[in-house]
Amino acid sequence: MKRTIFDADHEAFRDTVRTFCEKEIAPHHDEWEKVGIVPREIWEKAGALGLLGFMMPEEYGGGGVDDFRYNAILTEEITRIGASGIGFVIQTDLVSGYLLSYASDEQKARWLPKFCTGETITAIAMTEPGTGSDLQGIKTSAVLDGDEYVINGSKTFITNGINADLVLVVCQTDPSAGAMGFSLIAVERGAEGFERGRNLDKIGLKAQDTAELFFDNVRVPKENLIGEPGQGFIYLMEKLPQERLSISVVAAAACRRVIDMTVDYVKERKAFGKPIGSFQNSRFTLATLETEARIAQVFVDESITQLNAKQLTVDDAAMGKWWTTELQKKTVDQCLQLHGGYGYMSEYPISKAYLDTRIQTIYGGTTEIMKEIIGRGMGL
């Protein structure tokens, strides 16, 4: 199914991104996987090209473009080269949303310029050791003390956790207010009492720094509160659809990539005197995966269109999130199988894809939580 959502400007942007990915990322990514983190410079190079701030107002150094198709293109191209360590998406698709919608002008002036240049790397910290799916279980507290919030608690599994200069932390600010007792507070690198744990050792995403964050009486000016106090969950509910769509964009692009890679492989590799792609089982497997990859892409594209029109619902985003990521998991698994023993070897890109994929159905809200949301939307 031919994609129809992009026009010439988007394609030009895609070219820029693709060149950047191939020149600046692809040759180094293996190395970054070994050290477990990407260098800050790659952020600055991306910033210089306008890849990090295109959605930000021009007055702060951004591109002033409110069109999620650009976000999608950036994500797709990074996924296309398997650069799973690059955490731009947190900045462009998640943190950007909170800052754009809820940050004050003063905050924007303070943070956005370096956000756009890539000098400031961001993260968003919701999950805690004791609670992930159930955000209402968050225990990290922020207590207003004079002009400052005093933050105590810890977060875990935070993407860009080591590199991040500015972290949006979901804190409990009013334990008595239930769902209305949470707020979004920005904590900056260097704040006293703000420590990072180790860079967590994961199945995949080897170049992505995922870390624990500790807050021990961290004091931040009350001007670091994003938006209104007590509105944290409202903001999350409003922005999570965009985060989930981001993950769907990755999923669809990853399906595309591994299918293409596998089609190439099965045309080359021979067994019993024939390309293994010529066995009917291989053909049917790949025809099935191709079908579902296209169906996923059409849904993702329509979701992008609806997001742009401010019409993407929480339910539809949840649907796309679980379905495309489960598909990605199935796709990568079956493509690996078609590689035979080689699929299990680290030097084959399909094996890395396998490792990177497994988290997709978990973060950003697990498949199960997505189904909870959808079921609720159906009145069940």
Ligand X SMILES: Cc1cc2nc3c(=O)[nH]c(=O)nc-3n(C[C@H](O)[C@H](O)[C@H](O)COP(=O)(O)OP(=O)(O)OC[C@H]3O[C@@H](n4cnc5c(N)ncnc54)[C@H](O)[C@@H]3O)c2cc1C
- Report the site for a copy of itself in 107-146 (rule: CB under 8 A): 127, 130-134, 136-137
Which stretch, 214-222, 279-287, 313-321, 322-330, contacts ligand X (CB under 6 A)?
Answer: 279-287
The yes or no reply on residue 333 touching a copy of itself (CB under 8 A) is yes
* Virtual torsion, Cα 310, 316, 320, 321, nearest 10 deg: 90
Output the six-digit token pair for 138.
């968050």
Q: By C-beta, is 217 or 291 nearer to a copy of itself?
A: 291
Provide the minimum distance between the beta carbon of 30 and a copy of itself in the complex, in angstroms, as a whole number: 12
Residues 6+ apart with CB under 8 A from 78: 17, 21, 25, 86, 88, 89
Q: What 8-state DSSP symbol labels residue 2?
A: -
Residues 6+ apart with CB under 8 A from 380: none
The yes or no reply on residue 203 touching a copy of itself (CB under 8 A) is yes
Please pick, from the candidates 17, 124, 207, 300, the single residue that binds ligand X as defined by CB under 6 A.
124
The yes or no reply on residue 284 touching a copy of itself (CB under 8 A) is yes
Residues 186-245 that bind ligand X (CB under 6 A): 202, 205, 210
Q: By C-beta, is 12 or 271 nearer to a copy of itself?
A: 271
Q: By C-beta, is 58 or 344 nearer to a copy of itself?
A: 344
81 exposed, middle or buried (CB, 10 Å; 0-12, 13-18, 19+)? middle
Are the beta carbons of 354 and 333 closer than 8 angstroms? yes
301 by DSSP, 3-state: which? Answer: helix
The yes or no reply on residue 332 touching a copy of itself (CB under 8 A) is no
348 exposed, middle or buried (CB, 10 Å; 0-12, 13-18, 19+)? middle
What does DSSP say about strands 210-221 and 274-275: parallel, antiparallel, or unpaired? unpaired
Which residues are known catalytic residues? 243
Q: By C-beta, is 127 or 297 nearer to ligand X?
A: 127
- The span from the CA of 183 to the CA of 194, in Å, is 18
Which stretch, 215-223, 256-264, 268-276, 292-300, contacts ligand X (CB under 6 A)?
Answer: 268-276
Residue type, position 321, single letter = K
Residues 325-364 that bind ligand X (CB under 6 A): 337-338, 340-342, 344, 359, 362-364
Contact of residue 126 among ligand X, a copy of itself, none (CB under 5-8 Å per partner type): ligand X
List interacting residues with ligand X (CB under 6 A): 123-127, 132-133, 157-159, 202, 205, 210, 269, 271-272, 276, 279, 281-282, 337-338, 340-342, 344, 359, 362-366, 368-369, 372
